[in-house]
Structures are given as structure tokens and as C-alpha cells.
Structure 1
């Protein structure tokens, strides 16, 4: 019998891999994967023939999927070991061909097998994440988390938890996990619920409490929420760093570690420094909005009846009441509802009409303050879906900046900044801002100047200076000579912000020409005092090369002849006489046009 078995095994070694994987004798199938594991261990790179042979499609599907789905437990064990050895040498392209089939087999079979197989299956999943196949891993693990067998669900959730913990949320997309967790929170099995809590804590360690609270706390049972909050409170302070990296990241880190420090020449980073920056990139913050589930507030409010003192009034009828406290109660209720992290889109036309009416006509400051706060909450929760409404509310909010009541003016200012961040661009409301900067009330002029400066500095993309040069910078130029000192300072700061974002003082040269020497000098000095230095021919924010190309090369300075009068000598930084002799020079208009062409800042793409 033993001799016959040996003969069968010896004969099988001569067969193609897919035929050995389909052999009726389990030892032949098991020996196949032992051979694959040994061959992969000896391979030097992904170009070794065994990587192609074992990863290719056979007659009955991918080789590893057959082994993982085998009825014999020994074959399952050897196949998962062989898969790990193969993944250790494979490249991204090779892994992408079998990721889906392998992950499906792991969820269907491997997680139901012996502890050794489950552990190896988890490691195979992490190797797949290294090879950038995290989407298949997460999808199959989420599917297995709903298995009726608790140990399978626990194993799948453990893979999700460790994948997030090891690689972080920049590699492993948390959104599908967040969407799947509420179902797991309601599991009848305590171990499954505990794993769901652990995943929630891991997500919070990377994304922050605000994201997890906004996206998941409302869907947790009260006791679970308390446990998760306590666990999050015990997390160490600071940003969580991944413990494991994808192959691409490993290569970047290796290059960065082996690259000697280089001098920064002519504002251009060396390749090694770029790699180091990419490898050590710091997460600038996570927007909870991206992970939150949209909340419908219009439906519930439509049916709601408010109790104010002894009166019961339907929500929408409150806005028509002559009693300020009734109107205020409706606005407070609307504001509280709108403060959800993310709001479901819908027809907010009636809401906007009521807000405009209150902001424009309501003499009660507390009602107007509440209306401004509602507008800010809606803008934060709807983002681009509130764009049109936000633009229509802008003039009313700007007008409210004149109020002496600090709560009212602060609410209007905060809301304008929120809407400028999430709902519209400078170009969208340029006319309203210019009108406000010409307002007879100095407080409106002051706060509008500050608002424009903040929007310019916070704009995530280059501003279309060609579209704005005749409006906002010109209006700021007029304000720079305002009788009010605070207004003048705000206007000068706004002009400096435009110069920094434009990358060159040429962007506002036409405005600067109309200022006296003292004010012009102040504008030119402001960027340097804040750590920026816009100058003709240099622009960090939009790329030095593009700005340099927009300016003519400076002429080489010639020494003045002996005995020449002082006016003929070259002053530090160059004077008008020197400029006149330096050859062709672009004027402010031409330089600005050239600059706009180079950076592609057209009207249709501004501020978006």
C-alpha cells in the first residue's frame, strides 16, 4: 500500500499544477502546495516562473482558490501557507489577478477551519493589503462578519480591526467599515459585539472622536456607547502612526532612508527629499462629514408641533407668529436639527425664505442671531447642496455685520466664513463683498475686509485673478485709504493675501500704483512679516517655475561710470532708471495676463 502511494505521488509530480490541484488523492494536492511554498521561498523576485505558474488561471479557476476551498483540512492548511509564501514575493499586478477569488475562499472556508488556518488566513489578508488589494479584503471580511457562526464573524471582524490598526485609514478605506458596523452592533453574540467595539476604537485612533461619534454613536446601544467612549478616552494623545506599510510605501521609505540630505537649490526639492516628505506625510485632519450618514430633518420638522409656554404651535406656523419667542423657538429647533454632521439633500427653499425674511426684516436681535446660526449649520451639513441658497443669503448676512450686538455680529461673521469654506467661492459673491466694502458703516467695511482676507488665505486652489482683478483687489485698494485705521489695516492685509496667493506683487500692481508710498510699502512688507515673500518672478503657492516664466529675466547690473552723479548709480534692489535700461519689461497688465495663462486660472475653475 505504501509503495503504491509513493508511486502515485511520484507520478503526480510530473503533472501540471492545475491537474495536481484537482487530483483525487488528497496527499497529491497537499504535496502540490508544499512544493509551491518551497519554490516561492527560493524565488528572488516576482519574475520567477513559479509566481506566474501558481498565480495563473487553471482549468477550474485560480490554483490557490481551489486549495483554500478543498474539502480536506490538511490541503487547506498547506494551501494557505503556500499562498502566504507566494504573496511575500508577488507584485501588485500579480496579486490583483487573484485577490477577489482568494478573499472569497478565505471568507467561505478558511475562517471556518482550524485556528492555525484562521491565523494564516488573516496573515494572507494583511499581505494582500500590502499589495494594495485592501478593497477585496475589506469587502470579503464585511460579508463574513454577518455569518451565522459566531467564530467566523469574530475572525472576520478581527481581520478588519487589525487591518485598520496596522495600516491606518489612509490605506484601508474606513467608509465601508463604518457603514457595516451598525448591523454588527446588534449581534446576539457578545464576542461579536466586543469586536465591533474594538474596531470603533481603532477607527477613532486614526480618524478622531468626532468622526466616530458623528457617524456611529447614535447607532450604538447606550451601554456600548459608554464602553467605546471610555476606551477612546484612554487612547494615547497625538496622531496614530501605522505599524505596517504597503510595498509602495516600503520602497519610498527605503529610498528616503538611504538618500543623503541635499541642498535646496533654486526653490526646487531634490528627489530624495520629495520621497522623504511623501513617506512621512502628516494627516492634516479628517472631515467627519465624509464619514457621516445623511440625516433627514425636513420630514420630521414638517410634522412637528412645538410647545412654547402654554401654546402648541405647528413648526411652520411659528415663523408667522407676532411673538418673538415663538419665532425664536422655531429657529432654535431648526438650528439644533441642522447641526447634524451631514444633512440629507432636499427642498430647503421654504427654510431659506424664512431665514432671509428674518435676517432682512426681523427687528429682534435674538431671532436674527438664531437665523444666522441656522444658515451656518445648514451650510456645514449640506455643503455644495446649499450653494445657491448660501449665495442668496450672503447680502443679508453682510448687512448684519453692522450690528452693535456682539452675539449678532459674531454669528453673521462665523456663518459667512462657514459658507465661504463649504458653499461658495470668492468669485461667486464678489459683487456682494464689493458692495459691503463700500458700505457707509465702518464696521461692515472692517469685517468684510477681514472676511475677504480669510477667504483668500483659506482658498484651497489658485484664485482666478484675471476674473477678480477689477473687483475685490480694487475695492481693497480703496479701503486701504479709508479714514478708519482698522479698515485700512484690514484692506492692506487683504491686498497682501492676494499677492501671496497670486505668487507675485505684479498681481496687484495696478492697485498698488494708486497708493501712496507709505501704504504701498506696508502692503509689500506684510507677507514677509507672516513668513511669506511674494516677489516678481517667484510664487511658492502656485509653483515657482510658472511665476518665473511670467516675468522677464533681470538685466545684469552694470557698474556706474566713475564720476557719475548719484542718481545714475544702481540703488539696492534696482531703481526706475535701471529698469528703463534693462530691456523689454512686462507691464502689470501683461504680466498678470501671462501669469493667468500659465496657471490656467480661468473663471470657470476658480475657487472650486
Structure 2
């Protein structure tokens, strides 16, 4: 027990380094309690540990795990309640022991205290020294130390981000830990890489991605996919300096949020590969034969030269050098006839601009105009490469420097060049962080208005989008004068583009003006409990009234100078409050002891003054003194200002400036809100008018379409009526043809029957007796071929005539044009040449001649003599020549068979026509 009393009697610093771990543990606990109870960082309890900061090394690396846990807890309390000075001094002694013994401890509390201590070291100062002390542990032979250090780094970057903590030193050693043999180390390295990806995205890959194995790249890509949807991360812990800045300007931050109409916070600066990479000297690596090959007449050699240059400049960051000749050559390549060369040159320009950044601005005049001239290329891949090159060049300069070239090419004769320039201007307006000046805005607006009258829809929409993007930057009020003269439809389209536009530069409204800038509204004195004076409704009084205000019996020396400088918009309110003070008992005795130099009375007193009863009637004469001017007051009063006639009151200026200014600002804000609501109402009204006009146009279009449809229906009905009439006429024609066909069939059957009856009788029949026929005629008519041929000829002629009558050709055939085979048929068709009638009158020579002539039309040219001979033979009773009888019969039979086949073919054709008409 005595030994314990001796230990407690020792100074705290002696017990801190005692050889007994229990004593050290008690010392750590006592120190932590003292730190927590300290009023501020200047308390004497911190002084010994600031002067001897090596004490923290022994506490963080205590050999006893229980004592080490309390020692790290004491360190955390020291850092939390102490100041920056003690943390900076203790950091150089404590970070390395914490990394080597605290982070890899088997106790969870020790691990947590170790990580908290590292985070507090960063919070009190900066992160770079802490990270530098942790990085050597990554080369330790013990895997658990390496894994613990990687976990600590992950926590550091997770809490403070890559803006407070520089990731470049860690990214350089990250490939080494990915190749570690221990799987726990590789797992912690993966977690750290994922944390980097949350902050850096694709910008981190050029630093170490090429040193990883394909399987590791695939695993990391799978992990990256999980955090892509999280969005932009935010810093979870603030540095002490950031906390102090936030506390100093809370109102400013609130005001900025209020003025931000879009509600979007300022976008954090993106960290890309350029910020992380080290500059590389690529000027010395350009191939020596580059300029010779680029001047070759073969396009393949030129393309290969550009590909070699592309491989050299394809680095995240380029060291500035002499690239004038290279850029001149690349600009010349924009006029190359081969599109592959143009594309490769544009890609080289893009990489040079991205690698040099601001250093490339001096090369902009060399390459920008040739690129924009080449925008006439219709091939999409070439257009995309040219657009990317223009965007990269723009990031190295500003809109002000590029605006002249852009406006020049916006009026180019080539529509493709005009369209490409318009798209480039839109991208510039979206990405620029500086709001263009008023002359620049006027230039852009005029160029965009010209695009609104273009024949191409793409150019008209682009012009409206440009105007909408400008409106997004400067607001509808600032854009109003530029939209004068445009029709409502275009204004509506511009406002639609304004609502969907995404810009980085926004013109924030100016802060509210000072109270002296505007006169108070007439309704301002209504909130005060006093009676409103007539002077409150008047505008600010002339300087003579300011001089009259201090003439009231005031004991303070401050009233007169303030009146001469000029009160902000004084009203009768200040003069009314002094009598209110005099009506209260006890206040008059306390007011003379009030210091004259006090800036303003307390807020509580002003609130009490606002609740006072109305001013008595006897105060009215005092109000008249201010209106009477210099002649309305006595000259003796200013001689004795130190003897107050009545109990003094606070100066009217101080009362007005403290309470009424708040009311004035409130009224101004209400007025601004009303103005904004009025603008919104006007905007809604114009939008509704435009919608109404659009609906009217749609209604007119629908009416026109309805009228067109009605006319079309009537035309279709007319066509239908005509088609029906045509169908009825076709049916009638079909019926007539059917009747004609039936008649022909009946005629054919009758002809066949008569033919059979003609062939059946013998020469000894009563009709063909030997008394009326010569022997030669009997021999001829004894052969049935002659009569059947004549019947077939008659049927063929009758069929032909009926068909021609149906087709409208009702002209009879002249006898001169009829074939010899039809001559007899024609006479038979008339009834005068029928077989019976012919045979009945063929006893004489004339009838015999006619019969022979009608049948034997193919007789030789000397038929006259033959007929004569036959007549002679007939008279003499001789037999007829065998040649005449035989030849005429065969020819007649052939002709009859031919005519019969033609007649059948015609009948079949008529049947087919009849079937088609029925269908």
C-alpha cells in the first residue's frame, strides 16, 4: 500500500515512463481524464506533453497491451482537446509506433484508437506527413503489418477524400502490394483501389492499371461496377481549418444556397489523370523521320508517321516543350485528301491538348481554324475526331479567345461546317466555368438568332438551344432584352431548352443592396407600435432635415455627427420614440448614465419600445419643429446641450437602423418575392398563350384533315356508284352474249340437222329428180362433201358476223372482200341460195353453172372452157370428167373441216369470256 502511495505522489510524467505497467496504465488514464476536463487547449495540463512530445512514443508503443490501449486513448484525448501545436510535435514521434504496433494489435479497441489517432493527426494539420510515415510499413516483411497499414490508408482516404489527402504517393506503390504473396494484403489492396475509384474514377487507372494481371483487372472491374452508381462521394470529416472556416461564414454559405436558384451546390473540382501523373518529356521521343514521312506523297506513309506520333504523345501529362513545328504539320494535315490521315492528325491534336493543358493555349490559333474548315467532312468518324480535338483545344483556352473563330464559321456557306461549329459552341457553353461578358453574350445571341431563320431544322433547333443555354447562365430577366422581336413559339422553345440545359457557369444574383440604396416602402411604419407620422409617407427628406434631427435635446455627442453624415432614409419614426421613453418612469434616470459612444441600444430595449403605448398628444408640437426648418427653432438651445430638458432617449438613428432596417429588409425581400412571382406568372401566362395558339393550330389542322377525309369519302362513294353501274352494264352485256351464244348453238344444231337431211336423199328422190338435174349435177350432188362444205361455210360466216355485231363492227362485208369459200355461203344465208331452192332450179344450164362455180372456186384459170365443156357433155349425155368431181369434193371437205374447227374455237372463246364476265 505504501508503494502505491509513493507512485501516486510521483509527477505524472514520471509515472508515464515508470517501469511498472500498472503505474503507466494509471498515468495514461489520469492524463486522459485531465484532458477531457480541460477548459481549452491552453490549459496547463497540456504543457508538459507539448514540451516533451517524446512521451507519446512510449505510450503508443507500450509493451503491455492493456497499457498500450490506455496510452492510445490518452493520445486521442490529447489530440481531441488539445491544439494544433501539440499535435504537430507529437506526430513525428507517435505515427510510426502506431503503425508498427497499434494497427496490427489483436485488440479491437487498440486498433480503433490507433486509426482514430491517425485521423486526428490529419484533422489538426495536414495529411501528407501522416501518409509519408505509413508508406514505409508497406514494405515490411510481416504481412499483417502491411495489411493493417493498407486498411488505415483506406480509412484515411474514405474520411478525407483525395483532395485533402494526396493519392499520388500511394498510387505509385499500389502495384507492388497487388503482387504480394499474402491474400489478406491483396484483399486490402483491392479495398484501397476501390476507395480510390470512388474519388478518382477512370483517372486512377493510368497510374497502375498496366502493372496488374488480367485476372486482377477483371476482379477490380467487377468491384468498380458496384460503386459506379454511388455518385460523387463527399468528405466525411473536416479539418480543423475547414471547421473554423465553416463556423466563421455560416450566413455566407446560407446566402449562397439561397441565391442558387437551381439548388445545385458548386461542383467539386474533378481529379483526373493529369493531376495525378508526372510530366513526361515527349518532344525528345518524336521520331527523327517524322517530318520526312509526313511530307510523303503516299497516304500510308503519312498515316504511319501520325500513328508513331500518336504513340509518343499518348501519355497523361506532357512536359512543355517546342511543339510549334508539330502543330503546324498537324494543321496542314487537316487539308489532306485522305480521311484516315485527317482522323489520325485530329487525334494527335487532342492528345497534345490534353497533355499540355494551359501550355497548349499558344497553339490554338494554329490548329483551330483548319479543324473548323474540315468540319465539312460528312463521314461521322472524321467529324467525331474533329469535334473531340476542338473540345480538347477549348479546355486549354477560354470562350473569349475562341469566340471570334466560332462566330466566323457560324456564317459559313457550307451547312456541314455551320452545323459542326454550332455544336461546338453548344459544348463550349456547357463546359465553360466563366459567364461570358455582356458584349460576348450579345455577339453569341445575334449569331444564334441568325440560325433561327435557317432552312435546316437542325440549325434552327441549335440556335434555340444556344439561346436557351445563355438564358440558363444569365437568367430570364437578363435574357429578356435579347429576345425582343421573336415570336412566341420561338420563345417557348428557347425556354424549354433553358429548362433542360446543363451549364457549369451561372451568374449569381448580387447580394441585397445596402439599406441606403432604396427608400423604405410606405407600409414600413405599420409594424411599429407608435402612431404613424405623416412624414413617414414622404420620400427621404432633404439635407436640411438631417441637420434638424440632432437639435432635439440629446446629451450624447454622437447624434450630431450622424445627422450630418446622413441617416439612412429617416422618417418620423425616430422622433416618435423619444416621447415614449419619457412616459416610462425610471427610464429617464437611467438613460443619462448610458455611454454616449454606444453603437445602438440592446435589442430587448428596442422590442420594449415597439410595445409602448401610442405617443401622447403633447408630442405633436415637437414633430412640427422638424418641419419648420432652421427658422422654426430657437438659437439658444444648441448653446447648452449638456443640460437636458427631458430625459434623453436613444438616438433616432440608432433606433431606426437596428429595428427598422430589419423590417425594411423583410419588406424588400417580400417585394422581390412578389416580383419573382409576377415574372413567373407572366412566364406561365405566355406559356399558356403559346399552348392555346398551338392548340388552335392543331384544331385548324384537324378541321382541314376532317374536310379532306369527307371529300375523299364522297369521291370514293362516287367511284363506287360508277363501279356499280359498270358492273350492271357488264351483266347486261354478259346476258346479251349468253343469248347470242344460245342462238348460235341453236343455229348450229339446225345447220347440222339440215346438213344431215341434205346428204341422206338419193338422186332419185322427188326433190332431186333426174328431171330437174343434169347427169353431171347428179354426180356432183351425189357426193355429200359438197353440201356439207357449203353448210360449214355458211355457219362460219354467220358466226363471224355475229361476233362482229357484238363488238360494234356492224358493217357488212363487201362481196369483193369475201373469200371464194364465203360467196356461196353469203347467198345461202340470205335464203335465196339454199340447197333446196338451188337444187329445185338447177335444171337449166345457168343454175348448173352457178352450182359448179360456187363449189369449185379452186378450179384452174381455164374454168370457163371447162364449164363449157361440161355443159356440152351434159347436153350430149356424156359422163362428167373425173378430175372435176374428185377435186372439188376433197377441197370442199377440207374447207368444211377447217371452218368447223374455227367455229368451235370461237364458241369456246365466247364461253370463256362469258365465264370471266360472270366472275
* TM-score, scaled relative to structure 2: 0.48
- Which residue does the alignment assign to 2:26? 31
Q: Distance in 2 between matches of 1:293 and 1:175?
A: 9
Residue from 97, 102, 115 that aligns with 2:94: 102
Tell whether the 8 Å contact from 1:83 to 1:124 is kept in structure 2 after alignment: yes
Please list, as runs of the form range in 1=range in 2, the aligned pairs for 1:152-551 lying within 5 A after superposition: 152-165=145-158, 168-169=161-162, 172-185=165-178, 191-208=184-201, 210-222=202-214, 224-233=216-225, 237-239=229-231, 245-246=237-238, 269=257, 287-294=272-279, 296-302=281-287, 314-359=289-334, 361-420=335-394, 422-466=395-439, 468=440, 471-482=443-454, 486-503=458-475, 506=478, 509=481, 516-518=485-487, 521=488, 524-532=491-499, 541-545=506-510
Q: Distance in 2 between matches of 1:471 and 1:240?
A: 36
Tell whether the 8 Å contact from 1:391 to 1:424 is kept in structure 2 after alignment: no
Structure 1 pair 442–240 and aligned structure 2 pair: CA distance change class (3 A): closer
Structure 1 pair 347–401 and aligned structure 2 pair: CA distance change class (3 A): same
Tell whether the 8 Å contact from 2:435 to 2:473 is kept in structure 1 after alignment: yes
Structure 1 pair 230–438 and aligned structure 2 pair: CA distance change class (3 A): closer
* C-alpha displacement of 1:71: 6.5
**Which structure has the larger Rg?**
2
Tell whether the 8 Å contact from 1:206 to 1:239 is kept in structure 2 after alignment: no
SS of 2:139 mapped into structure 1: coil
Higher relative contact order (CA 8 A, sep 6+): 1
Tell whether the 8 Å contact from 2:441 to 2:470 is kept in structure 1 after alignment: no
Q: Distance in 2 between matches of 1:40 and 1:399?
A: 72
Q: CA RMSD in A?
A: 4.5
Q: Distance in 1 between matches of 2:233 and 2:303?
A: 46
- Which residue does the alignment assign to 1:144? 137
Q: Distance in 1 between matches of 2:425 and 2:235?
A: 43
Deviations 1:313-355 (A, max 9, x none): x554321221111212222343355444444443333321221
Tell whether the 8 Å contact from 1:369 to 1:412 is kept in structure 2 after alignment: yes
Tell whether the 8 Å contact from 2:60 to 2:102 is kept in structure 1 after alignment: yes
- Which residue does the alignment assign to 2:9? 11
Tell whether the 8 Å contact from 2:375 to 2:383 is kept in structure 1 after alignment: yes
Deviations 1:15-61 (A, max 9, x none): 2x4444355665544321121234456x4xx7357976247644432
Point out where structure 1 has 5 or more consecutive residues left out of the alignment: 260-264, 304-313, 535-539, 557-571, 574-608
Q: Distance in 2 between matches of 1:490 and 1:240?
A: 31
* C-alpha displacement of 1:386: 1.9
Q: Distance in 2 between matches of 1:407 and 1:153?
A: 48
SS of 1:61 mapped into structure 2: coil
- Indicate the structure with greater helix content: 2
Residue from 51, 64, 68 that aligns with 2:60: 68
Q: Distance in 2 between matches of 1:277 and 1:62?
A: 48
Tell whether the 8 Å contact from 2:469 to 2:498 is kept in structure 1 after alignment: no
Q: Distance in 1 between matches of 2:232 and 2:444?
A: 42
- Which residue does the alignment assign to 1:592? none
Q: Distance in 2 between matches of 1:131 and 1:247?
A: 6
Deviations 1:194-243 (A, max 9, x none): 433331133224433x2332322023355544443444356574337679
- Which residue does the alignment assign to 2:580? none
Deviations 1:266-288 (A, max 9, x none): x97569x99x987xx98796534
Structure 1 pair 407–151 and aligned structure 2 pair: CA distance change class (3 A): closer
Structure 1 pair 204–439 and aligned structure 2 pair: CA distance change class (3 A): same
Deviations 1:99-153 (A, max 9, x none): 4543244246545776564553234224445667544432322233234544433
Q: Distance in 1 between matches of 2:451 and 2:70?
A: 78
Q: Distance in 2 between matches of 1:170 and 1:498?
A: 32
Tell whether the 8 Å contact from 1:30 to 1:79 is kept in structure 2 after alignment: yes
Tell whether the 8 Å contact from 2:50 to 2:86 is kept in structure 1 after alignment: no
Structure 1 pair 220–497 and aligned structure 2 pair: CA distance change class (3 A): same
Tell whether the 8 Å contact from 1:132 to 1:246 is kept in structure 2 after alignment: no
SS of 1:347 mapped into structure 2: coil
Structure 1 pair 56–464 and aligned structure 2 pair: CA distance change class (3 A): farther
Structure 1 pair 533–151 and aligned structure 2 pair: CA distance change class (3 A): closer
The answer to whether 1:47 aligns with 2:68 is: no
Q: Distance in 2 between matches of 1:548 and 1:452?
A: 35
Tell whether the 8 Å contact from 1:130 to 1:246 is kept in structure 2 after alignment: yes
- Which residue does the alignment assign to 2:913? none
* TM-score, scaled relative to structure 1: 0.69
Tell whether the 8 Å contact from 2:104 to 2:144 is kept in structure 1 after alignment: yes
Point out where structure 2 has 5 or more consecutive residues left out of the alignment: 522-677, 680-919
